[in-house]
């Protein structure tokens, strides 16, 4: 069983690109790792939305052993949807460490920016990954002399 590098995964992009990533790039799973029906956004009168349930986890396809946990996304239906930039955030975890190159491939495929600061208390490191305009601008491993004292969220991950 791996140690988990956990943090908040942020994605930034146009509404349609975020929806495409969520519908095509995420695979819902049961707690026993059985695949479920793909995510589908619901078009409402005033908003477009999707919501997870507590019983599911979501595999980030093409990111290795990486998962998103519970989430809710809701976009107001506005005339400016084609040009507005949105930011969504999800609790996420990656086995052992975050693979920046795989996230870069996802960012390129779906035309989104990605950012995560992951915490891994077992290995006593943090990892900051930021991908903007399809380029990795940060992929840093952060260590501390006294991880338990100096690191914020020092019990996260592991």
Domain boundaries along the sequence of the chain: 4-150
Contact of 97 with 5, CB cutoff 8 Å: yes
pLDDT category at 61 given cuts 50, 70, 90 is very high
Comparing 62 with 74, which gets the higher pLDDT?
A: 62
Q: What is the mean pLDDT of residues 9-36?
A: 86
82 vs 8: CA distance, rounded Å: 26
- Which SS3 state, helix, strand or coil, does residue 123 take? coil
Contacts with 18 (C-beta within 8 Å, 6 or more apart), sequence order: 11, 73, 86, 88, 110, 112
The pLDDT, as a whole number, for residue 80 is: 62
Looking at the predicted structure, is the pLDDT value of residue 97 above 80?
A: yes
Percent of the chain with pLDDT over 90: 61
Helical (H) or strand (E) element with 8: strand 4-14
Q: What is the pLDDT of residue 132?
A: 99
Average pLDDT (126-152) is 98
- Distances in whole angstroms, Cα of residue 24 to Cα of each of 17, 21, 32: 10, 5, 21
Contacts of 37 (CB under 8 A, 6+ apart): 28
Among 39, 25, 42, which Cα is nearest to 77's?
A: 42
């Amino acid at each position: 069983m791996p140690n988990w590098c956990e943090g908040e995964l942020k994605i930034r992009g146009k509404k349609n690109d975020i929806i495409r990533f969520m519908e095509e790039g995420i695979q819902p799973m049961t707690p026993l790792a059985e695949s479920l029906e793909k995510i589908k956004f619901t078009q409402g009168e005033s908003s477009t939305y999707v919501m997870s349930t507590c019983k599911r986890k979501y595999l980030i396809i093409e990111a290795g052993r990486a998962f998103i946990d519970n989430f809710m996304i809701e976009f107001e239906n506005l005339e400016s949807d084609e040009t507005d930039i949105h930011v969504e955030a999800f609790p996420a975890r990656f086995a052992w460490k975050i693979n920046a190159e795989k996230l870069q491939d996802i960012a390129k495929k779906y035309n989104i920016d990605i950012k995560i600061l992951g915490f891994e208390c077992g290995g006593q490191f943090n990892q900051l990954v930021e991908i903007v305009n399809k380029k990795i601008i940060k992929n840093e491993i952060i260590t501390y002399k006294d991880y338990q004292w100096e690191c914020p969220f020092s019990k996260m991950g592991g």
